[in-house]
Amino acid sequence: MRIKRRAGRPTAEVAEQKRMNLILVALEEFARSGFHAASLRDIAEKAEVSSRTLYNHFPDKLALFEASLEHSGAQLMPDLPDLEGDLHTRLVTYATEMQRQLSSTRSTRIARLIYREGGEFDELRQIARHQFERHQVSPVAELLEKEGVAEADSRAFAKQFVAMAFGEWQRRLLFGGPPLTPDEMAAHARFVTQLFLNGITPTLRGNDAGL
8-state DSSP, 80:
G
Cα–Cα distances in angstroms (integers) from residue 91 to residues 98, 164, 165, in the given order:
10, 12, 9
Q: How far is residue 120's CA from residue 66's CA, in Å, rounded to a whole number?
A: 16
Say what the pLDDT of residue 210 is: 46
Highest mean pLDDT among 1-10, 68-77, 127-136 belongs to 127-136
**Of 115, 77, 104, nearest in space to 179 by CA:** 104
- Mean pLDDT score of the chain: 85
- Are the CB atoms for 47 and 82 separated by under 8 Å? no
Say what the pLDDT of residue 1 is: 45
Q: How far is residue 170's CA from residue 98's CA, in Å, rounded to a whole number?
A: 12
Q: Which residues contact 72 (CB under 8 A, 6 or more apart)?
A: 27, 106, 107, 110, 131
Q: Using the predicted structure, report yes or no on whether residue 3 has a pLDDT greater than 50.
A: no
Say what the pLDDT of residue 159 is: 96
What ranges in the chain are assigned the alpha helix state H?
Answer: 12-33, 40-46, 51-57, 61-76, 87-102, 105-117, 122-132, 138-146, 151-165, 167-175, 182-198, 201-210
* Average pLDDT estimate for 53-82: 80
Q: How far is residue 184's CA from residue 178's CA, in Å, rounded to a whole number?
A: 11
Q: Using the predicted structure, report yes or no on whether residue 47 has a pLDDT greater than 50.
A: yes
Q: How far is residue 43's CA from residue 30's CA, in Å, rounded to a whole number?
A: 9
Q: Assign 211 a pLDDT band (cuts: 50, 70, 90).
A: very low
Q: Using the predicted structure, report yes or no on whether residue 78 has a pLDDT greater than 60.
A: no
Q: Assign 8 a pLDDT band (cuts: 50, 70, 90).
A: low
- Least trusted range by pLDDT, from 12-21, 71-80, 164-173, 180-189: 71-80
Q: Assign 90 a pLDDT band (cuts: 50, 70, 90).
A: very high
* Average pLDDT estimate for 185-199: 95
Q: What is the model's pTM?
A: 0.76
Plot region of 176 (φ>0 → left; ψ -120 to 50 → alpha; else → beta): left
List, for residues 128-172, the tens digit of each pLDDT value.
888 889 888 999 999 999 999 999 999 999 999 999 999 999 999
